[in-house]
């Protein structure tokens, strides 16, 4: 007699911990292996570093001729040597000394296998989110939270069809439309807290359509969007309630 089993989806709070799995599997280029990182990817990382302001010299291990898979914040695959993850979030204390700043070089586009990019808690107060981020087609995780970005959210982020996690909270951002979210066909987590969405008059329709099309959508998407800038939106309570019901139906 067959026994039916039921699986319960993991809460979205467990999502960041899932990042540890590939990090462990990739190891940071196994110390027992003689495999070095791809030279072109090492050069791309050095170009990226050269345009950053690094007051605490956090990236001191990033040197010419070194094995970039062993650099701080870099996770590479121990079989191919390709760079898969960049974990460059600044520690919250001491923030002033450890936060990266400056400009973000498009040399990151040469990292064709990059799946994770974490620049959270840094200080990019003079720049917008680079539009070329929308060309990092392998990304599944993008965390730019509290990194002091400003200006309009680039709509071409909607080209990242593999992206599962997008965190833009805590920046000085704005968007006149959220239609770009509809392109994120793998999205499971989205946080736009503190973004100015006062001109995004179509946001309820866009997000409700997005929610109805993705059965994997989590509750946090509902809360992050609805309360991103609720006071300035002056959204009718009945419309918000209807959206909540629609999203709950596809959880």
Convert the pLDDT of each residue in 64-95 to its tens digit: 988 999 999 999 988 899 999 999 999 887 65
pLDDT tens digits along 220-243:
444 445 444 444 444 444 444 444
Q: Is the pLDDT of residue 193 over 90?
A: no
Q: What is the per-residue pLDDT across 88-138, written as a single tens digit (0 to 9) for each?
A: 999 887 656 789 999 999 999 999 999 999 999 999 997 999 999 999 999
Is residue 247 within 8 Å of residue 210, measured between CB atoms?
no
Q: What pTM value is reported for the model?
A: 0.74
The two structure tokens encoding residue 180: 């770009």
Structure confidence by residue, pLDDT tens digits, 160-178: 999 999 999 999 999 988 8
Asked if 67 contacts 36 with a C-beta cutoff of 8 angstroms, the reply is yes
Residue 1: the pLDDT is 43
Six-digit token string for 130: 């680079």
Res. 33 pLDDT band, cuts 50 70 90: very low
- 66 CB burial (10 A radius; 0-12, 13-18, 19+): middle
Q: Are 83 and 114 in contact (CB under 8 A)?
A: yes
- The larger pLDDT score, comparing residue 124 to residue 211, is at 124
Q: Which residues have a Cβ under 8 Å from the Cβ of 69 and sit 6 or more positions away?
A: 28, 29, 35, 36, 37, 75, 76, 78, 81, 83
């Amino acid at each position: 007699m067959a026994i039916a089993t039921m699986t319960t989806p993991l809460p979205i709070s467990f999502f960041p911990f899932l990042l540890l799995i590939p990090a462990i599997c990739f190891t940071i280029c196994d110390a027992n292996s003689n495999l070095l990182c791809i030279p072109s990817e090492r050069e791309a990382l050095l170009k990226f570093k050269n345009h950053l302001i690094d007051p605490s010299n956090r990236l001191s291990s990033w040197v010419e001729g070194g094995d970039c898979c062993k650099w701080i914040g870099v996770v590479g695959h121990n079989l191919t040597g390709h760079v898969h993850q960049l974990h460059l979030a600044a520690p919250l204390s001491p923030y002033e000394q450890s936060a990266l700043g400056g400009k973000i070089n498009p040399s990151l586009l040469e990292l064709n296998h990059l799946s994770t990019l974490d620049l959270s808690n840094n200080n990019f107060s003079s720049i917008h989110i680079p539009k070329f981020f929308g060309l990092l087609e392998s990304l599944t995780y993008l965390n730019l939270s509290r990194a002091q970005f400003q200006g309009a959210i680039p709509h071409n982020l909607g080209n990242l069809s593999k992206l599962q996690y997008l965190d833009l909270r805590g920046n000085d951002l704005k968007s006149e439309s959220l239609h770009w979210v509809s392109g994120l066909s793998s999205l499971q987590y989205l946080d736009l807290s503190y973004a100015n969405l006062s001109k995004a008059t179509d946001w309820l329709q866009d997000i409700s359509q997005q929610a109805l099309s993705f059965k994997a959508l989590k509750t946090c998407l509902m809360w992050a969007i609805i309360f991103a800038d609720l006071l300035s939106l002056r959204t009718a309570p009945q419309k918000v309630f209807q959206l909540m019901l629609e999203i709950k139906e596809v959880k």
